[in-house]
Structures are given as C-alpha cells and as structure tokens.
Amino acid sequence: MTTTSTDASTVPDASEIPRRKPSRRGQYSSWLYLVPALAVFAVFMFFPLARSFVLSFQGNDILGRPAGFVGAEHYLKLLQDSEFHAVLLRTIAFVVLTVVPVIAISLMLSLLLHQRIRGIRFFRTAFASPFAFSVATASVIFAVMFNQATGVLNGILGTFGIGRVGWITDPHIALISIALTTVWMQMGYNLLVLSAGLGSVPDDIIEAARLDGAGGLRLQRSIIIPLLTPQIFFLLVTGTINSLQSFGQIHILTRGGPQGSTTTLVYSIYEQAFAYGNSNFGYASAQAIVLLIVVVVITALQFGLVERKVFYQ
Amino acid sequence: MLLIFLVLIGFPVYFGFAGSLMGPGDINAYPAALWPRSGAVLRNFAGALDAIPLLRQWGNSVAMAGIITAGQMITSVLASFALVFLPMRWRTFWFFLLLSTMMVPVEAIIIPNYLFISDAGLINTLPALTLPFLAHGFGIFLLRQAFMSFPAELFDAARIDGCSNPRFLLRILIPLSRPTLMALGFWSFLMAWNMYFWPLLVTQTPQMQTIQIGITQLKSADNFNAGLVLAGTVLAVVPTLLLLIFGQRFIVRGLTGGAIK
Amino acid sequence: MIRRRTVMASMAGMAVTAPLVAGCSGGGGGSEAKAPDSGALDKADGETTVAFWHSMDGTNGDTLEKLVKAFNEKNSGKITIKPVYQGEYDDGITKYKAAVQSGSTPALVQIYDLGLQFMIDSGTVVPMQSFIDRDSYDVSDIQPNIAGYYTVADKLWSMPFNTSMPVLYYNKKLFEKAGLDPDKAPETLDEVGEAAKALSKKNDGPAEFGFNGAIYGWFVEQIIATTGELYCTPDNGRGKERASAFAFDNDAAVEFLTWWKKLVDDGIAGNTGRAPADAQDAFKSGTIGITLESTGALGGMKEAADEQDFELGVGFYPRIEKNEYGPVIGGASLYVVGEKHSDAEKEAAWKFVQFCNEPANQATWHTGTGYFPVSKKALDEPEDTKWRKDFPQFDVAIQQLDETELSTPTQGGTAGIMPQARKAVEEAWEGILQGDDPKEGLTKAVKGLQSALDQYNDSAG
C-alpha cells in the first residue's frame, strides 16, 4: 500500500525550516537546558553503547567477567555460524509477517469503519480494544488459547472435525502464531492512527473526486489511500522497529523454541547474556551491535526508498 | 465483513474474560466450551490476588510509568525549548545527536545498562526501573516540531517585555502547547506501562515487580491454572480497557496531535 | 556395565577421618576454601548477621521464613539470618554471578541443582564436607540419594534443601472407564504405552489423550539414570575429573524418545510443548490419562483432581526395564560462601544449615512445601505422618527414593553447562517429534554442545 505511487513531490522536512539567528549572548545558558536530557542519554545510552562495543571484543570467564580482548572473534563467529544466519533471516521474516498484515488489515478496517452506519461506534471501540492489552497480557491470553491438547483454538477446530494444530509446539507454525499474536496486539494502535488520519481527510477532496466520477474502490485506491500515506509511513517505520525489538511475546509463548524456530535477534541476545546460566556478555554484545546496524540500515532504507512515495499535504 | 472481523479480533478479548470465570474443566474442554458452562467461578480472582501482590504491582507500574512520563516531559520540554528558541552554536548537531537516540534499540544496550544498575546496587528498586528512560528522543523530536510552529513573534515580544526564559517557558510556552504535551504524556505513559524486558531483568521480588511481570509469573507458578492466570490478566487489563472505551476521543486526539507530524 | 561406587559409604568413612588435603578437589577445580576454626563464632563480637539468598516464593517462601524465624529466636543475640528472595532459580544464579563481581555475595545462598558444577568452579564456596569432617557431623540421617546429587569426588559440596523427584501421575477414573486396574500404576515404558493406547479416544478410550507430558530435558536425564547409563563422561562428572563430554545420545535416551515419538505420532499422546505448566494444566482438566511430573506438583494435582472429581494415582517413574536403579533427584541446595566473609559468618551459616536438617524442622519443611525431607527421621515426626495421611500419594515417591541404590548413574550428571545441555536435549526432542531420527538428533545435540563445554572447562580449569 505504501508503494501506491503519486506524482506528488515531497514537502520539505520541518528540520529544513530556516532557524532563528543565534545572538552571541547566553550561549552557555542555552546549553544548560540540554543538560538533563544529555545527562540521561550519556549515562544510559552513549556510554552503554560504547561499552557494548568494547564488550563485543572481549571474552568472558564463567562468572561473566570480561576476560581479555579476543579481537573480532565474536563477529567472525557470527559470520560463520549458520544458526545465527537463520536467526537473522527469521528476524526479517518476523518483521514482514507482522508489519505488512497489520497495516493491510487495519487500513482495510479503517476504511470499513469510515462509514455512517448505526452502531459503528461499537465496532470502532471493539476493534480498537486490543490497544488496551500490553505485550504481557495479550501473550498470556494467547498462551492459554494455543495449548495444543486442551486450548480453546484447537477445541473450536475440533468442533468442526479439524485435527489439532501445534500452534506453539510445531516449529513450522510457532513463528506464525507469534506473528499472529503480535498482529492482534498492534492492530488497535494502527487502527486508531489510521482512523484519525482518515478523519482529517478534507471532505471537499472526496466530494471533488466524487464529482469527477470516482467512486467506491477507485476513490479509495487513488484518492484516500494516497492521502493516508504519511500515517502509513509512520506506522511502517515505527512498526518495523517495534517488531525488530519483540521480546515479551516470544519469552512468554515459546522461549525461542520449538527447536529455536522463534529465536529472533533480540531473543538470541537474551539467551546468550541472561538465560540458561549463560553470561556470554561478549558474544551477546556483538549481536547487539548487529541489531543496531540492522535497525539503522532498515530505517535508512525506508526513508530513502519509501518516503519518496509519501504524499505530504 | 465487519462481523467477521469483530469475531476474529474480539474473540481473544472475550475469551480472556470468559475464561477467567471458568473452572479447569470448562477451560480445557474438548471440543471447546465458549462460556462457563458449569457455572461461573469467582475463586479464580481470589486465587490470583492471593498468588501475587497484584495491587502492589499495580502501584509499582503506576509509579514507574508516572515517574518516567514526568521525567520525559521535563527533559523534552527543556531540550526542545533551547533547540528552538535559544541561541546556540551547532544547533543542528545537537538536534541530530538527541534524535539519533531514537534509533538505538533498548536491547542493544541492555547488557551494559544491566551491569551498570547491578554494580550500582540498584537491582530491584524503583530507580532501576525508571532512570534509563527519563529522556527519550521521541519526546524531544515531537516537542521541537510543535515549538517550531510556535509564532516567533510571541517569543520576541515576551523578551522585549523583559520576560525571562524560564518565565516564558512556564507561563506562555507550556500552557499554549498543552495538547502536544498531553499527547507526549500519553505516549510516554503507555510505553512505560507496557515495558517488559527491562523490568523482567531488574526486578526480583514480587513486591517490586510491575504488573506485566506479575501476571506472567502466575503462569509459571507451580500450581498452574489457566482460569486463574486469565483472572489475573483481566484484573490487569480492565483499567486500560476502561480508559480506552471512555477516553477514546482524547486518545485519538493525542495520537493525531502527537504521532503524525 | 558401569562401575558402581557407593558414595555414601565413602562419605560416612570420611566423616571420621581427617579433613581432606586442600587442593585435592578433583572435579572441583583448583584451590578451595576450608571450614573455619570451630570457635569462630564465640570469638565474634555481638551479633553475627548472615545474608541468605533464596528462590522460594509463595507457600514455600512462607515456610522458609518460619524456619528462619525459629532459628533467629533460638539464637537471639548471637546470630541473625536475613533471608532475601532473589527471584527464580535462573535469576538467582545471574544475581550471584553479579554479586561475585561486585564483591557483595551473601554468606549463604540457595542455588538450583544444575548449578552445582558452576558453583564448585566459581571458587567461592566452602564445601559442606569440610564442616562435616571438622565436626564429625553425623550424616547417617541424611537421605543418601539426595545427598548423592550434591556430591562430587566424594565430597558433599552443598546441603540439599528442597528436593523433588519425577513420578508418574495417572487418572484413576479414566483407568476404570478404560477397563484398566486403577490400583496398579504402569511401571515400564511398554506398560505405559499399552495403558495409554487403551485410554485414548483414538482407540475409543475415555481420555482425549492417553498420555501427555512436557518436553522437559529433566525426563531424559531420569530415564538415563533409571537404566544405569551416564549423562556425561567420565563418570557423570562425579569423579576426580570434570565432565568433558556429554553422552545423552545413549540407548536409554534413544529408546525413550523413540517411544515418546511413537505415542505422539499414533495420536495417543498430546504434545503441549516445553512448558511444564501447560502439560500440568492439560492433565488437571481430567482429560489426560497419564502424565509425568515432579513431586512438587502433587498438591496442585490433588486439588484439581478433587475439583474435577477424579481420583489421582501416583506411580514410580517408568523404566525401560526393572532394575535397582532409580531416578535422580532435582531441586536446590544451600552453599556456604567463603569469599569475602568472616569466619563467624561462615560458622553461623553452617549452624543454620544444621538447624534446617533437624528432623522436626525437616518435617515442617516437608509438610509445608511438599518437598522431600532431607532427614530420614523426619518421616516419623507426628506432623509428618499426619500430613502423609492426607497425601498418601507421597508415600510412593518416598518408596521410589528408598528403593533406589545410590550409584554414579543415579547421582545424575553434572557439568559446567548443564542448563544449556538440558535445553539442547529439549531442542533435539522437538526435532525428533518433527521426524528427526532419535539417535541422530541426540548425537547432533551432543556434538553441538562440545565446543561450549570445552570453552567452559578451559576458562574454569
């Protein structure tokens, strides 16, 4: 949907708006206002980032203490480790499996909800309700529903004579089940953002299009959706970052299993650093640096390739 | 069409509530029982409240999210005010430096942060839960964009009238930016409320855990019972659900005011 | 086929011989701390405070607090034990590692079974054996199979605290409906398989699934022990040398997983995945014929059975064939920490450990938590006999423990990376259920662990 092309040009980004000219007086006092934010970032962001980087070149003893520099050993191991390659691919697959459906479905729903039908408010609230659920609450409910032997989902399938599905016990299905949970969780938020965007589409644009003979699907595809591209782009970027960072649903539903089939990059970092008696902080830090690179590259790609097609009013 | 989606999306919500009233026979029935056939069971709720200090954990979550929200508001307002209104060399550099923090995933720095908090002896305390999140690039970005559209003449006029910076900030800028600030507050609170990985690492006792960690502990308890776990979940989710139902209009405004530039 | 050593005999022997020469620690690594002079406590000024980190929450935590309170009252003015809950087992060990780094360890710490070799290698603990030897402490009352797990190179490293064992749980009501004898639990894998077949809906039986258990690496450790084979070599890591290779791709494990896979493939057994809670929940609903679980789950199982109106049966953990071997215990134990603690603190910690082992206190512990008593005499305490009237099922577990002869296989395997090994077994198991060959799957897991084990042994050596 974000590939919908328009020939609209991009409006200059807000950061390019000309700034006020600085006077010489009060240079230092202006920096004082930055200090609180900078202090937090320095201690809990820049310093740890540097430390992550250093750790990623260090080994660890059995207590997790740094034990000498090992050069690029961890990175070489990551390059050679076929399991880690699988983790990366899985992470990307998971992002696609969550971000695309969630935007597609919530876009469709927001269009459906943008009608004047009686009781539409009830539907709006009902569809937005997943927004009230956190990662933990949503995952716990899905965990109960997914139980292979006695869970309600298989129970319902059983009513129709369909055999049991190993929702979170079959390695081929588990990642999809987690994606399903994630899509459900994200749905409410995406829907709220898109509905809000839709609400701000000026009526006269739609009226004008109608007068030109655009109706139904065409109206939606060539008029309304392009107008929603800023919202869609926003959801794409934030959704991708969120999805890359998914942890709770994996930890609660599958702990990375079965057979590692739901071990994404973030979960792999957790396993190496904190789980199963591990304290391979060095190796885990190397993976953390990879995560940082993945996030930066994907976000840059999105801004470089996709944002051009965004139609800013 | 709408009805199909209503069933698909609404079912987990419905089942969470229905299941919390079911005894082990109904919740595990095959084929499925879709309502508490053998009578509603209220003791699940008592059991959940008994197994974990749910109210206390609620309080922890509120305290944590409240402190983080307040912290982010303060740091963001100060930083964006300086970035927009005050004279500053390398303004663009500072802005992008602050903005770049948005790109750093929490998980990429979670190990050093954990080691730091642990060395400082702060594990299992409120500062451990809140300190790393007292500033956020998103808040600074959001407020900067809002302040940019603030009429510069107003600031200049205030200066000419002898209004000091802090006074301008408190008396004019903040009151006039209230919708954006509320949007930010809403966003911060929600982000903090839903945190899972970090609180899992830095809390240990049920007394210090947040509600999100608490309800998942219910699941790993020795005496596991699905209905009881769902009861805990319902107790955790009802307040946010009520907020969503009755405050939807405000939330939507917050999102449009905040989420989209 | 396996060299058998009676560990208890050598332990008892050592109790009256002189303390071991320091450094002769075998699998225990380099130098180690020794028990302080027994007068340390008397020399100390005022009250000695001992921080005690543990992982007991809920009812178990309450019972623990009760014991601590009794001890503190008895030693008022001299010793105060300060228990601090440190989260689940995994958190406990993570926290302990961090504490060693920052020099803020407690003097007494509870660590789970899988952490044994790590604790030895950490070089921070005073082996319990050195206290036992110094005081000629009478160990005859300690259940030998329980102590066996925490014994490496004939030395007891920590005092068993909370102990459980896996048993077989079955639903007597479903057994009756299926025409099986509800008073006789199936004993071998074949018998369990036959019963499960008769029970399952697939074969017109009364249960949804005849059998369902968690994919839990602990169970593979058990079947290996009950067959008299080894989990890791040499000597399950129990001898002078540290374990240098895993061996869980042996016949016992292969046969067990082949058996399990067939039940699942035939639709007789369910597959609720790794989470023990999910398998437990399924059994509690009354629709599963047989499951495997820890004795620690007994209380909850019984409660659910009453609620679902079925009678709960408990049997021995199933074997491949009957022999004198039995399952391995699991749980956690108490370590006295030497590094950075005064002699008085170590001595006070040892006093508390002794206090916990007293039969009456063990009876309190046993009845309050459902864990095994470490003390054999505790079972004769009135409090305990009364409790077991309510939970006659627990007698089966006690009998299972008593009938097991202590040997290297039933001590269980110990190695530096046990938690990872257990996870590797579980992943192999999942693969086998997906169609991998059992032998190949397990062998692949063994090989996959080798480099991590080598690395651990290198840095611990």
Range of the domain at B150: 71-207
- Chain C residue with minimal CA distance to B223? C300
**Taking chain B, what is the end-to-end CA distance rounded to the nearest angstrom?**
32
| Most distant CA pair in chain A, distance | 79
pLDDT reported for residue B38: 74
Instruction: Specify whether B100 is located in the same domain as B198.
Output: yes
The percent helix, strand, coil of chain C (3-state, each to 5) is 50, 15, 35
Interface contact A201, partner B, CB < 8 A: no
Residues C93-109 have pLDDT tens digits of: 888 988 888 788 899 99
Residues A86-110 have pLDDT tens digits of: 999 999 999 999 999 999 999 989 8
CB contact under 8 A, A277 and C419: yes
pLDDT reported for residue A249: 94
Which residue among B114, B196, B243 sits closest to A248, beta carbon to beta carbon?
Answer: B196
CB contact under 8 A, B12 and A142: yes
Does the pLDDT value for residue C369 go beyond 60? yes
Judged on CB neighbours under 10 Å (0-12, 13-18, 19+), B235 is: buried
Looking at residues B74-102, what average pLDDT do you find?
Answer: 88
Higher pLDDT, C423 or A118: C423
Interface contact C265, partner A, CB < 8 A: no
Residues C340-360 have pLDDT tens digits of: 899 999 999 999 999 999 999
Q: What domain count does chain B have?
A: 2
- Chain B residue with minimal CA distance to C208? B30
Q: Percentage of residues in chain A with pLDDT exceeding 70?
A: 88
Instruction: Specify whether B190 is located in the same domain as B118.
Output: yes
Instruction: Specify whether B123 is located in the same domain as B180.
Output: yes
CATH 3.40.190.10 in chain C is located at 7-164+330-380, 166-327+409-460
Higher pLDDT, C254 or B97: C254
Which residue among B2, B105, B245 sits closest to A295, beta carbon to beta carbon?
Answer: B105
B254 occurs within a structural domain = yes
pTM over 0.90: no
CATH C-level class of C166-327+409-460: alpha beta
- Token couple for C129: 């054996």
pLDDT reported for residue A14: 41
Distance CA(B109)–CA(A288), nearest Å, equals 7
Instruction: Specify whether B19 is located in the same domain as B84.
Output: no
Residues C169-196 have pLDDT tens digits of: 999 999 999 999 999 999 999 999 999 9
- Chain A residue with minimal CA distance to C417? A277
B216 occurs within a structural domain = no
Confidence of residue C9 (pLDDT cuts 50, 70, 90): very low
Interface contact B222, partner C, CB < 8 A: yes
Higher pLDDT, C39 or A34: A34
Which residue among B30, B31, B87 sits closest to A26, beta carbon to beta carbon?
Answer: B87
Residues 267-306 of A with CB under 8 A from C: 274-279
H or E segment to which residue C336 belongs: strand C330-337
Contact (Cβ atoms closer than 8 angstroms) between residue C84 and residue C423: no
Does the pLDDT value for residue A213 go beyond 80? no
Does the pLDDT value for residue C43 go beyond 50? yes
Query: Strand C48-54 vs strand C108-112: parallel, antiparallel, or unpaired?
Result: parallel
Lowest mean pLDDT among B27-41, C138-152, C294-308: B27-41
Higher pLDDT, C73 or B245: C73
B166 occurs within a structural domain = yes
CB contact under 8 A, C281 and A147: yes
Looking at residues A214-243, what average pLDDT do you find?
Answer: 81
Confidence of residue A58 (pLDDT cuts 50, 70, 90): very high
B66 occurs within a structural domain = no
Residues B48-62 have pLDDT tens digits of: 887 788 889 999 999
Torsion angle of C-alpha atoms A152, A158, A162, A165, degrees rounded to 10: 30
Distance CA(C139)–CA(C149), nearest Å, equals 15
B143 occurs within a structural domain = yes
Residues A79-88 have pLDDT tens digits of: 998 889 999 9
Instruction: Specify whether B84 is located in the same domain as B178.
Output: yes
Does the pLDDT value for residue A275 go beyond 90? no
Q: Which residues of B touch A48 (CB under 8 A)?
A: 109, 111-113, 116
Q: Which residues of C touch A260 (CB under 8 A)?
A: 427
Q: Which residues of A touch C282 (CB under 8 A)?
A: 147, 149-150
Distance CA(A51)–CA(A169), nearest Å, equals 37
Does the pLDDT value for residue A10 go beyond 50? no
Interface contact A161, partner C, CB < 8 A: no
CA proximity to B35, closest of B43, B52, B23: B23
Question: Which DSSP state fits C83?
Answer: E
CA proximity to A272, closest of A289, A261, A285, A262: A285
Q: Which subunits count as partners of chain B given 3+ CB pairs below 8 Å? A: A, C
Looking at residues A253-279, what average pLDDT do you find?
Answer: 90
Give ipTM to 2 decimals: 0.85
Instruction: Specify whether B39 is located in the same domain as B94.
Output: no
- Token couple for A238: 């934030």
Looking at residues A197-221, what average pLDDT do you find?
Answer: 73
Mean pLDDT, chain C, rounded, equals 88
CB contact under 8 A, B1 and A112: yes
Looking at residues C27-53, what average pLDDT do you find?
Answer: 76
Residues C313-337 have pLDDT tens digits of: 999 999 998 887 889 999 999 999 9
* CATH number, domain with residue B125: 1.10.3720.10
Contact (Cβ atoms closer than 8 angstroms) between residue B26 and residue B37: yes
H or E segment to which residue A7 belongs: none
The minimum CA-CA distance between A242 and chain B, rounded to whole Å, is 9
pLDDT reported for residue B155: 84
Instruction: Specify whether B250 is located in the same domain as B177.
Output: no
The one-letter code for the residue type at C29 is G
Looking at residues A280-286, what average pLDDT do you find?
Answer: 92
Instruction: Specify whether B196 is located in the same domain as B92.
Output: yes
Ramachandran class of A241: left when φ > 0, alpha when ψ lies in -120 to 50, beta otherwise = alpha
Interface contact B249, partner A, CB < 8 A: no
Does the pLDDT value for residue C402 go beyond 60? yes
Which one of B34, B103, B107, B216 makes the best mutation probe of the A interface by having the most chain A beta carbons within 10 Å?
B107
Does the pLDDT value for residue B147 go beyond 70? yes
Which residue among C101, C272, C427 sits closest to A63, beta carbon to beta carbon?
Answer: C101
Higher pLDDT, B1 or B234: B234
Most confident of A196-200, B23-27, C249-253: C249-253
Q: Which residues of C touch B220 (CB under 8 A)?
A: 88, 277
CB proximity list for C430: less than 8 A, separation 6 or greater: A169, A171, A257, A258, A259, C215, C274
Looking at residues A153-167, what average pLDDT do you find?
Answer: 87
Confidence of residue C24 (pLDDT cuts 50, 70, 90): very low
CB contact under 8 A, B194 and A200: no
Contact (Cβ atoms closer than 8 angstroms) between residue C429 and residue C215: yes
Which residue among A64, A148, A278 sits closest to C272, beta carbon to beta carbon?
Answer: A148
Interface contact C368, partner B, CB < 8 A: no
pLDDT reported for residue B223: 58
CB proximity list for B244: less than 8 A, separation 6 or greater: A125, A128, A129, A131, A132, A188, B251
Query: What architecture (CATH level 2) is domain C7-164+330-380?
Result: 3-Layer(aba) Sandwich (3.40)
Mean pLDDT, chain A, rounded, equals 84
Q: Where are the domains of chain A?
A: 81-309
The packing angle between helices A120-128 and A174-199, to 10°, is: 130
Q: Percentage of residues in chain C with pLDDT exceeding 70?
A: 93
In this structure, which CATH number among 3.10.560.10, 1.10.10.10, 1.10.3720.10, 1.10.630.10 belongs to the domain A81-309? 1.10.3720.10
Instruction: Specify whether B200 is located in the same domain as B225.
Output: no
Residues A289-300 have pLDDT tens digits of: 999 999 999 988
Mean pLDDT, chain B, rounded, equals 84
Residue C211's SS3 state is strand
Q: Which residues of A touch B92 (CB under 8 A)?
A: 15
CB contact under 8 A, A166 and C122: no
Which one of A30, A121, A231, A274 makes the best mutation probe of the B interface by having the most chain B beta carbons within 10 Å?
A30
CB contact under 8 A, A277 and C417: yes
CB contact under 8 A, C434 and A63: no
